Structure 1
Amino acid sequence: MSAGRAVPAPPPVSLREPDPDVRRGLRPEYTKVNCAVAKCVALTFDDGPVGGTDRLLQILAQHRVKATFFVVGRMVEEYPGILRREMADGHEIANHTWSHADLTTLSSEGVREELEKTEAAIGKNIGHGTTLMRPPYGATNARVASAAKRLGLAQVMWAVDPLDWRNRDTALVERRVLSQTRAGDIVLLHDVHASSVNAVPKILTTLAERGYKFVTVSELLAGVSVEPGRQYRERAAT
């Protein structure tokens, strides 16, 4: 793509589309990538959706990049249209609990409720549930793993954390992601912070120049034995 030239966003996919792969965003205009060979990276965005997520979706569409959104259930109820746009644009939707609670402080029933309510909110809006979850703060224990396993959800952590929630500094977030990212990594970002969204264009452009391919978490882990309840921070060597 030439510098400064925006690529039109792909047309939205109807929720009535009969092909489940197309509904999940695996469109023919995207080249499927073999992450066992290619330099893949999965960008993930936590805590939304929020109003500012729309701008991030525009940026990702311009670069023809798919990401994974770990959404909070109560935010899904507030911004259901943005969640539906994430799915229609070909991004992956995953579970980030109902209220962003530290799950290790909850009972087994409390953990289950946080995840189940979010699954229900997601399913109501996009027609299906998820297969991935991310515990807030990365805080997990045996109760969390057990609840995730029962619900068929793998625990997705991260290999790269630019601490964008603490340092609302676009240039610093850019430098940290660009200096730390390696092939097969899962990168943690937050679409609730404008400073993080502002860092995305340079991250995408620079990593693409270095030969990286951007994929969803499920695409990154394709060919890896992904088991509900287990933790994944990067693509294991295959």
Structure 2
Amino acid sequence: MRVWALPLALLALVACVTQSVAHRHAATAPPTVPMRAAAVDPAQLARRLAAIQPGWPRSRRFDCGRVKCVALTFDDGPGEHTGRLLDLLKQRDVRATFFVIGQMVAADKGGHTVRRIVQEGHEIGNHSWSHPALAGLSDEGVHRELQHTQDIVRRLTGVRMRVMRPPYGSTDAHVARETRREGLAQILWNVDTLDWRDRVPAKVIRRAATATPGSIVLMHDIHPTTVQAVPRVLDALGGKGFTFVTISELYGRPPVPGRMYTER
């Protein structure tokens, strides 16, 4: 293959469609998950893509001290509805932050969705391996939950995540200590759409629309009703003059490891 054709060939491989599977949480410690054999080794592909696009994921520059910025965040995926959400965000040229669960990444055969999240310029964050309340775990338990997810995302995408979200917002001093060791900032929220409880698009839209400059909005890409609400959420906030940014863009730089953030 000619050298100039390599990037096109690799990007075509990344675009291969695979089937998502249902979301499930596990209460046990995260196991080591072997990767399925494939025609192209995912780790090798991630290294080549990283070489083509150094500094991945790409970031834009915003002065969110002067511009009305809002960060839309989506938890618990990737799931069967994440692809549709990515389509909607791409149509509007909107970037968001996805806090992924390691087990869901492992279940997404071939890592197609997680690679697409990164390739399309979204930020990706660690939401643990199996979605436990981290404050109830030992230091070693917190380390395992974070490290397993760090490892699989880096293996598939070449990206080392810099932000995390503790499941249920469950955090304490020892969670802060472990996230600092892992180089991860703790990202919470100040606008909760409660889309996991009230799976009614109109309610999700109404709550998201309460965002103020610097807000971090919590949603979940595993619920079809949330994905259905997203276009009107974008209309409502866009109509108020908001600029949609990732978490790192909201702060202008990667947030400080271990520190907890709820808004700008």
When normalised by structure 1's length, the TM-score is 0.87
1:117 partnered with 2:185: no
Query: Structure 1: any 5+ residue segments left out of the alignment?
Result: 1-10
> What is the Cα-based RMSD across aligned positions, in Å?
1.7
Give the 3-state SS of the residue equivalent to 1:176 in structure 2: helix
Alignment of 1:20-169 (within 5 A): 20-21=54-55, 23-26=56-59, 32-79=61-108, 80-169=111-200
1:15 positional shift: 1.8
1:17 positional shift: 4.4
1:189 partnered with 2:219: yes
Q: Which residue of 1 aligns with 2:49?
A: 15
1:33 positional shift: 2.1
1:19 positional shift: 4.2
Listed one character per residue, the Cα deviations across residues 168-187 of structure 1 (whole Å, up to 9, x for unaligned) are 11111101111x20000000
- Total equivalences in the alignment: 218
Q: Tell me if structure 1 keeps the 8 A contact 2:73–2:99.
A: yes
2:57 partner letter: R
State the distance in 2 between where 1:173 and 1:17 align. Answer: 40
1:199 partnered with 2:233: no
State the distance in 2 between where 1:78 and 1:101 align. Answer: 18
Q: Tell me if structure 1 keeps the 8 A contact 2:50–2:158.
A: no
Give the 3-state SS of the residue equivalent to 2:191 in structure 1: coil
Listed one character per residue, the Cα deviations across residues 33-87 of structure 1 (whole Å, up to 9, x for unaligned) are 2211100000000000012100000000000000000000010011111000111
2:188 partner letter: M
1:234 partner letter: E
- Structure 1 segments (4+ residues) deviating >2 Å: 11-14, 16-21
When normalised by structure 2's length, the TM-score is 0.79
